[in-house]
Amino acid sequence: MGESNPSYSQLQVTIFSANLASNGAFLKADPYIELSVDGQPPKRTEVSKKTWTPRWEEHFTLLVQPSSKLNFRVLNHKSLGSDTLLGEGVLELKPLLINNNGKFNEYKTKLKLSFEQKGGIQPAGEVNLIFNGMNIDITAILDISNGELPTDASSSVDQATNGSLNTPSTGNSEGSSSSSDSTASTSTAATDTTNTLSTPTTTNSTSSPAPAPDPDPDSQPNPAVVVPPASLTEEELPPNWERRTDEHGRAYYVDHNTRTTTWERPQPLPPGWERRVDPRGRLYYVDHNTRTTTWQRPTNQSLDNYNQWQQHLRQNQNRNWELYGQRSLYNQQPQAQADSDPLGPLLDGWEKRVDGNSRVYFVNHKNRTTQWEDPRTQGTLQEDPLPEGWEMRYTKEGVRYFVDHNTRETTFQDPRGGQSKGPIGAFGVPVQYERSFRWKLGQFRYLCQSNALPGHVKINLSRESMFEESFQQIMRLQPFDLRRRLYIIFKGEEGLDYGGLAREWFFHLSHDVLNPMYCLFEYASNNNYALQINAASSVNPDHLMYFRFIGRFIAMSLYHGKFIDSGFTLPFYKRMLSKKVTLKDLETIDEQFYSSLKWLQDNNIEECGLEMTFSADFEILGKLSTHELKPGGADITVTEENKEEYIEMMNNWRFTRGVEEQTKSFLEGFNEVVPLQWLQYFDERELELMLCGMQEIDVDDWEKHTIYRHYSRNSKQVQWFWKFLREIDNEKRTRLLQFVTGTCRLPVGGFAELMGSNGPQRFCVEKVGKETWLPRSHTCFNRIDLPPYKSYEQLLEKLTLAIEETEGFGQE
């Protein structure tokens, strides 16, 4: 019997190890395993180097049905050329579930592998697997008509043959009933309310079957007999659908309406859905509940998954908004007690305060001005002396400038210049460079404040259509109006904007306008989630107007000192600063393109016989076009003498191909609000810092500013902990940081400026618990409780489980 509504369950498959057959191979293989479920896209293990007995111990969580089949393929990784198949095997879940009463608990099994050669099927070894999860009703997957029973039930039925179980004999006796009569009686017995089970024969019986015993209301039911419920009867396929089986015994379904196939059993459309065909003969589906259409056939499972994804997206958006509020450009130090301040009391007439973002500033009550720098160290903190005839002064806004009495000129540039001297500061660079960056930022803020206009500009919008309404209102305003104080109003929400609503608006709108799903921007590569302009943005006929709007919006975020949710690639920032992009910049954007140009640079192309010209082909939306790198480039051959020019032109073209108009519109919109000349003092990394804040994690800085309780720096668990951090990638480091501190963002000053619930709170590792415990975190105190594990492997397992399987802020 089939399932009328097959449900999915979570199954954890651990690919533990394998013992592969070498089959006379001279060199050892680099094997890995691909695991797929019912023909779905596969998941793969890491490559195990140079061995026939690999050991992975990797866990995979799969969504499966009781009827699913797991396909394991062992392949040999090749650095050059395609990978080769070493062996494969198929594992059916249904027999395993029947033998394990519908659930797995550390169930270990071995799967035999084989591969096909000209001489036939050859053994290829075996894979050791461990199953966990799934807890389903065993009766829901049994096919009683074919005699499928769990192991314990089958033995009970054998013992109960003389009881209520009636098995008719087969033979060629005279006076037999017809096969139709036998089938009818069997059907009646199978649906009877009594606990009897009739097992009919499928041969042409010639003897009369023994009559079924009369139901006795006083008799006790036999617990060993299982009767399938009526709901388990197999549902008929929709019209023009057919079920077939491939050469591996896997069932698939053919839709003769659209001439397509699928592994999934077709289900009736969910309530409120309708199937239609457009004028071009393409099949689509209409959801009358939400008045939307889709090309994908909806199922109850897919709708549930979509609703869960939407809920997960909303939860993550709220969490990202919380982390967004913690970003800062400056040292976040709360007001310290005067008696604990190593610099002593402030000068007469000065006061130390903390703003809403926990940034410390100083008030001079004598002239009623404020400044960021501490007046006790202003101009004297570990600085080299000024050249003869020079003097340092400050403007009313607290911006430092220098007076050259020799030439009677003034400048904002520090005349000491040269190589930076002095100790390294909290930002990981010399203190002089810190002051230089602060000076640059102060100069930029001064330009913004001096060009600000009085009054405010209201932006009234709804959260549901924030993107479109923001676009319409910002593009309707004059660029100079966007320099006024912003006053954001969300429709249907009461409240006054004193800066909080503006920060929220910048965060959510930046998340929308930079969303790659709108086809305006795209991720730089598969492993680089920085954004760059999408060359295919022309699918939107108004894309240039949208880029002009985004340029204005990004300029507003810099002008008003707000952060955006995600940032751009460093070469994009270089384009904004009119700086030359280098070949090294290409490595993070297109590694394959970089490798090709690097190979050309390092090798003699004339010896290789490459026939290249100063032209390149590029495909956008299926249209292939040829671009000449220089006039007449299609007729100019690349030689060893001019290859450097060719590499430089190709590198520049790679960054501009298909995005010239979009970049021009973006910069025009940006320049309307903030002149690009205002950014001339910054480099691309400082510009990224101003827009997004610090994101990269420095393990050395992390270790340097960590304290210990009941551990010492030389404890083996502590050394294992830092070894673990250095071996994992930056994503897992970010997860661990978020697990312990509650945020994946760091202050600009790095780990030295981590904040806790009571002010500055350094990262802490404390010895707590037993070796069987999982690590615990205290996000309010930036502390992780690390039990005294006995081995590095145990610490690796426990920490990985903690940072990957724990969700939310419920740790403590």
3 state SS for 142-199: CCHHHCCCCHHHHHHHHHCCCCCEECCCCCCCCCCCCHHHHHHHHHHHHCCCCCCEEC
- Cα 810 from Cα 812, distance rounded (Å): 5
Taking only the tens place, the pLDDT of each residue in 735-792 is 787 678 755 556 556 788 776 656 677 889 999 888 888 898 876 678 899 999 999 9
- Kind of pairing between the strands at 521-525 and 528-533: antiparallel
Cβ neighbours of residue 320 under 8 Å, at least 6 residues apart?
A: 507, 511, 565
- Is 570 in a helix, a strand, or coil? helix
Q: Which residue in 144, 224, 219 sits closest to 187, CA to CA?
A: 144
Distances (CA, A) of 802 to 493, 557, 766, 774: 39, 37, 16, 7
Confidence of residue 378 (pLDDT cuts 50, 70, 90): low
Q: Are 530 and 567 in contact (CB under 8 A)?
A: yes
**Residue 151: C-alpha distances to residues 51, 99, 224 (Å):** 39, 6, 11
Per-residue pLDDT at 211 exceeds 50 = no
Segment 495-499 shows an average pLDDT of 61
Q: Give me the pLDDT at residue 780, please.
A: 62
Q: Is residue 418's pLDDT more than 60?
A: no
DSSP letter at 265 equals: P
Cβ–Cβ contacts within 10 Å for residue 164, how many? 20
Residues 6+ apart with CB under 8 A from 728: 736
Task: Specify whether 780 is catalytic.
Answer: yes
Mean pLDDT of the chain: 75
pLDDT digits (tens, 9 = 90+) for 545-581: 999 999 999 999 899 888 787 778 888 988 899 888 8
Assess contact for 693 and 327: CB atoms under 8 A.
yes
Cα–Cα distance list, 552 to 140, 200, 543, 670, 731 (Å):
60, 79, 14, 5, 32
Tokens 């940034």: give the residue: 359
pLDDT band at 165 (very low <50, low <70, confident <90, very high): very low
Q: Which of 224, 191, 182, 164 lies closest to 1 in space, CA to CA?
A: 191
Give residues with Cβ within 8 angstroms of 178, minimum separation 6: none
CA 236 centroid distance within chain: 40
pLDDT, position 300: 76
Q: Give the pLDDT confidence score for residue 675 in this predicted structure.
A: 93
Sign of CA dihedral 337, 342, 345, 351: negative
Tokens of 281: 């003969």
Q: Where are the alpha helices (DSSP H) in 604-642?
A: 605-608
- Percentage of the chain lying above the pLDDT 70 cut: 72
How far, CA to CA in Å, does 295 sit from each of 110, 272, 284, 285? 41, 16, 5, 6
Query: Which residues have C-beta within 8 Å of that of residue 304, sequence separation ≥ 6?
Result: none
> Phi, psi at residue 487, to the nearest 5°?
-130, 100
Where is average pLDDT lowest: 126-135, 549-558, 796-805? 796-805
Least confident stretch, 280-284, 565-569, 801-805: 801-805
CB 655 within 8 A of CB 584: no
What pLDDT does residue 318 have? Answer: 62
For the ranges 152-161, 181-190, 430-439, the maximum mean pLDDT occurs at 430-439
Tokens matching residue 564: 């955006």
In this predicted structure, what is the pLDDT of residue 805? 60
Residues recorded for the chain: 812
Range with top average pLDDT, 88-92, 331-335, 391-395, 516-520: 88-92
Mean pLDDT, residues 346-366: 78
Choose, from 448, 744, 764, 780, the residue flagged as catalytic. 780
DSSP type of residue 263: S
Confidence of residue 236 (pLDDT cuts 50, 70, 90): confident
Q: Picking from 153-157, 365-369, 599-603, 672-676, which range would have the lowest pLDDT averaged per residue?
A: 153-157
Distance from C-alpha of 634 to C-alpha of 629, rounded to nearest angstrom? 8
Taking 50 as the threshold, does the pLDDT of residue 156 lie above it? no
Helix (H) or strand (E) holding 444: helix 431-450
- Burial level of 127, CB count in 10 A (0-12/13-18/19+)? buried
Which residues pair with residue 59 across a beta bridge? 14
